[in-house]
Chains A and B, each alone.
Chain A
Amino acid sequence: MIPEIRVPEVVGFAFPNDIHITWSLMIVLYPYLTGIVAGAFVISALYHLFGREELRPISRFSMATSFAFMVVATLPLLNHLGHPERALNIIFTPNFSSAMAGFGILYNTYLLILLLEVWFVWRKDIILLARRNRGLKRKIYAAMALWTYDISPQALEKDHSAIRVLTAIGIPAACMLHGYVGFLFGALKANPWWSTPLMPIIFLASGMTSGVAMLIILYQVAMKVSGQKIESETIASLNRWLWLFMIVTVSLELLEIITLAYEQSEAWEAIHPLLTTKLAFSFISVQLILGSLIPFILLMIAVTMNRYLHDRVRNTLSFVSALLLLIQVFAMRWNVVIGGQLLSKSFRGFRETYSPQLFEKEGILAAAGIFCLAFVALFVFAKILPVFKALEEPRTVKLEAEAKRS
């Protein structure tokens, strides 16, 4: 049976096939998730590789967040594909002239690096948990430790070196994974709203912004819920990074628009009305004012007046800015993915706005469900392994080890 096609309103003239939105809310969600993956990983790298001690309290947590979002990142893609059962064709028989064929290599490489790094970071905890537990639990932890129980200082030193090496490879891998999504859009000459070499860099910068913002929110919530203290040094540092990343992001986003406007090319003739009519709310109101200008001011206060701020004020400024920036980055993804499709390739008209339905296959509920799954994944991770503080060895074991050494 042929499903009923909702024929949307068109302003001006659009090519008849252009009125359908091929890339839905799912394709908005996918780069949103991978951006958080990359951003959270960079924060963990700042501690592991660049020695930012003030980020130690969330170094493990940021890696767990990166991992949790990475695990669910493919779900929107699978839900979007017309034939998800053929999805593995991309990995096994890629057509290398397609940028999308890079997905298999980039996603799997980064996932492998992340898996290995998670294992090395938590190896000692896994072993301690295997020792503490009995029965099935013990077997599971033992399997996770790959049945090696070596936590001698030499072994831990090796773990540490492995973490450094993996982080060093992981940063470019995370950037490639997320930057390539920007490239998918940026390298399409058919669409002037997408076609710019700035696109991968904008995606990367906004990915960093959303990753740090997500960490700020999750960290504050997790500390509140568990009744622990929010480290002011950590929040102050995250504020600085968030401010830096958001300035880079917004500058690049504006640069793209200003260049287009200044060039006065054919593309601008089509993009100008797109921005001022169809995307007026999501671009100007949400992305630029609510999501950029307000958090810029709030973070400026938080960063420049840091030492005068009471912890509660700093945390609130940070939390609100992070929330607004998460909205900003989502709006940016929306404006790119959906905005680019509202504009017809005839350059003469627009499709009426796309509003996803609540219950459709690629609708709001499905998107919200997948997004929530990332938090579920993080929660499960935290149930299995400690995401904030490393486990301590029992005193007796420590004494025995010392006795052995002496």
Chain B
Amino acid sequence: MGKETTRRGFLEAAATTALAITLGRKAGLAAEAGLSEYNWEDYSYVYLVDASKCIGCGMCVQACQKENRVPDGFFRTWVERYRIGEGGRVEVDSPNGGINGFPATILDFKVTKGLFVPKLCNHCKNTPCTQVCPVGASYTTKDGVVLVDDKRCIGCGYCVQACPYGSRYLHPVSHVADKCTWCYHRITRGLKPACVMACPVGARAFGNMKNLQDPVRKTIATQPVLVLQPELLTRPNCYYKGLDKEVR
């Protein structure tokens, strides 16, 4: 009996020590990364684009490429230009994702309205990309961000095919799926995504649905907003103001 107690005692002590070491190490790592006060249960991120404000300058695309080292020819965010005339005439373009703005070109129809539409991953609540990932490398965090674990991704490309918004690509160097993270490394430190910071006209806004005072939350709650391709029921966390029916 005595022997039994000793063994249990030893095991308990060992387990407590191991736990203490693990927790201490985790706390240390978190503190080092500046995450000590971050609790993802307190956040539910949301993005709001006001297309009527966007001037198509491309600063957001440039900021994203620099912040996230996005390879040339691929885009975590981009801007589309819509020029619409009467009789269903529509011209859409996005030269190099709009990174250098948009050249003035002459169309063969009279443009009666036009708009710029910034695009990025919609971080859907019911997202097809994480659904189809065969190894669970694509996942949604508790604060509502869709991310890719680049140590786990096998590079099959199924998520790229499944995203109806074209916001994913296979990275040409790392050969894993890559996409907008809403600058997760920034937002978890209380900063805004790079694209939001770079926008000179405030067409891009970032907020937290769990914060009752959040202006983005208030706008979504009180003003007319749309999501892209609502018929697919992906339930995006990216909302739009000032869209036109021609935008998909």
Contacts and interface: CB of A to CB of B under 8 A. Distances in A.
Contacts of A100: 132, 134, 156, 158
Interface residues of B, number: 47
Nearest to A14: B166
A83 interface: yes
Nearest to B130: A97
Interface stretch (A129-137, A187-195, A281-289, A377-385): A187-195
A190 B72 contact: no
Interface in B50-92: 71-75, 78, 80, 90, 92
Given A13-B92, A81-B155, A93-B135, A346 B176 contact: no
Interface in B171-193: 172-176
Contacts of B75: 16-17
A98 B133 contact: yes
A344 B92 CA distance: 13
A22 B160 contact: yes
A345 B122 CA distance: 15
A344 B166 contact: yes
Interface residues of A, number: 44
B162 A2 contact: no
A188 B161 CA distance: 8
Nearest to A102: B134
Given A2-B173, A17-B74, A98 B134 contact: yes
Given A94-B134, A189-B128, A190-B232, A23 B161 contact: yes
B226 interface: no
A17 B167 contact: yes
A98 B134 CA distance: 5
B208 interface: no
Main secondary structure of the interface of A (DSSP, over half): loop
A92 B111 CA distance: 56
Interface in A68-92: 80-84, 86-87, 89-90
Interface in A329-352: 340-341, 344-348
Contact of A346 (B134, B135, B162, B166): B166
A18 B166 contact: yes
B207 interface: no
Contacts of B93: 13
Contact of B248 (A1, A87, A101, A347): A347
Contact of B94 (A1, A16, A20): A16
A23 B134 contact: no
Q: Which of A15, A84, A101, A191 has the most CB of B within 10 A?
A: A15
A188 B155 contact: no
B155 A95 contact: no
Interface string B146-171: 00000011111110111111111110
B131 interface: yes
A94 B135 contact: yes
B135 A20 contact: no
B152 A86 contact: yes
A126 B90 CA distance: 70
Contact of A189 (B97, B167, B232): B232
Contact of B135 (A89, A191, A348): A89
A191 B248 contact: no
A190 to B, nearest CB: 4
Contact of B155 (A5, A13, A83): A83
A2 B172 contact: yes
Contacts of B232: 189-190
Contacts of A340: 161
A90 B135 contact: yes
A191 B72 contact: no
Nearest to A85: B154
Nearest to A192: B164
Contacts of A7: 73
A360 to B, nearest CB: 13
A283 to B, nearest CB: 20
Contacts of B92: 12-13, 346, 348
B162 A81 contact: no
A153 interface: no
A17 B132 contact: no
A177 B75 CA distance: 35
Nearest to A77: B156
A346 B167 CA distance: 11
Contacts of A80: 156-157
A81 B166 contact: no
A97 B161 contact: no
A5 B72 contact: yes
A89 B248 contact: no
A354 interface: no
B136 interface: yes
B164 A189 contact: yes
A184 B72 CA distance: 30
A103 B155 CA distance: 15
Interface in A155-206: 184, 188-191
A297 interface: no
Given A83-B153, A100-B158, A191-B161, A15 B166 contact: yes
B171 to A, nearest CB: 8
A251 B22 CA distance: 63
Contact of A82 (B128, B131, B175): B175
9 contacts: A2-B71, A16-B75, A17-B169, A23-B157, A82-B154, A82-B175, A89-B134, A98-B158, A100-B156
Interface of A: 1-3, 5, 7, 12-13, 15-18, 20, 22-23, 80-84, 86-87, 89-90, 93-95, 97-101, 103, 184, 188-191, 340-341, 344-348
Given A17-B169, A22-B170, A98-B158, 10 more contacts: A5-B74, A16-B166, A80-B157, A83-B154, A94-B134, A189-B232, A190-B161, A190-B164, A341-B161, A345-B163
